[in-house]
Structure 1
Amino acid sequence: MIYDSVERFITELPEYMPRVSQLTEFLSAAREKSFEELKEMDFAPLDLRFGEYETKPQEEIPFEAHKRYWDLQLVLEGEELLGYAPLAELTETVAYAEKDDIAFYRGEGQNVKLSREMAVLLAPWDGHRPGANVGDTPCKIKKIVVKLPW
């Protein structure tokens, strides 16, 4: 897992992951444009997943992981806690589904806060629990997940 500012992802990530250089244009736009404006833009060949939901108590959310993709997650509106734990420290509860590229887990981890200026890059060996409340009150989230082939 790499957790840092969107600005540092723009300046540093292409150096360490040269195949993701097309992310620079998207990340620059994500700093300045609204969720709705980004939905209308074409960032091909990037695989962008736009999501809108309300956060929940973390106890209601399982950890998940993917085998075929890294996830680059950015919250454009609202804020959430994203739980993280190495897969080796979690217990699988729902077996991997090849079609959806996902498996679910339970266990303990640590949280990072995602809001407009921060991003997280999650590897296939990183269990993550997105969408948890910051505090006691649910928050409306508008988020983009970039699926990067592994």
Structure 2
Amino acid sequence: MLFVNLNSFNNQDYERVKEATEFLKNTDLTATPLGRSHQDGERFYVQTLEYTTESIDNFQFEIHNKRLDLHYIVEGEERIDVSPDTSYTGLAEYNSDRDIQYVQEPQNINQVLLHKGDFVLIGMHEPHRTNGFITKPSKVRKIVLKLGR
């Protein structure tokens, strides 16, 4: 599933998706080290996370200007809220070192429920918040592939 607003769709942004899914298929994702790994310059890196999900309301929406986020669930389940509305109001200045800006909650929100083996691709400038539980807190191991141009 690819969910995107046509006005913000850029074919160039998605050229690395095939490479990313091949990485997921051919890597032991239970053994990737926590934190950042598999760096390929500015174009690609892996962020491995482990946490227990919480109420989605505990988290702020964020956007990225340099990279797509491909969230893949290795273990557990998680709710992610995503908005196709790329007209957002910042809550803080953009942090170029971390490629992140926290933004106000958008009016239009789509809930994405991910289970083991599922992934969602979140485009640049698409507000999203993660780490939400679906029905109850769940221990999650997640791979976030950060895909640059």
Residue 78 of structure 1 is matched in structure 2 by 76
Identity of counterpart residues, as a percentage? 28
State the TM-score, normalized to the length of structure 2: 0.76
Question: Which structure 1 segments of 5+ residues have no match?
Answer: 4-15
Q: 1:140 to 1:86 in 2, by over 3 A?
A: same
Change (3 A) 1:134 1:89: farther
Kept after mapping to 2: 8 A contact 1:26/1:43: no
Q: Does 1:99 pair with 2:97?
A: yes
Where 1:81 maps in the other structure, the secondary structure is: strand
Q: Greater CA deviation, 118-127 or 80-89? A: 80-89
Preserved contact between residue 71 and residue 145 of structure 1 (Cα < 8 Å):
yes
**Separation of aligned partners in 2, 1:104 and 1:17:** 23
Higher strand share: 1
SS at match of 2:94: strand
Q: Is the contact made by 1:66 and 1:124 (CA closer than 8 Å) also made in structure 2?
A: yes
Query: Superposition RMSD on alpha carbons, in Å?
Result: 2.6
Letter of the structure 2 residue corresponding to residue 71 of structure 1: D
Between Structure 1 and Structure 2, how many residues are aligned? 133
2:114 matches 1:145:
no
TM-score, normalised to structure 1's length?
0.75
1:116-135 alignment runs, 5 A limit: 116-135=116-135
Matched, 1:22 2:19: yes
Deviation per residue, 1:47-90 (Å, 9 max, x gap) = 11100111110111111111010111101000000000134354
Pair 1:139–1:123, CA change in 2 (3 A): same
Instruction: Please say if 1:35 is aligned against 2:34.
Output: no
* 1:7-62 deviation line (CA, Å, top 9, x unaligned): xxxxxxxxx944454334312236xx4522x44xx966341110011111011111
Gaps of 5+ in 2: 4-12
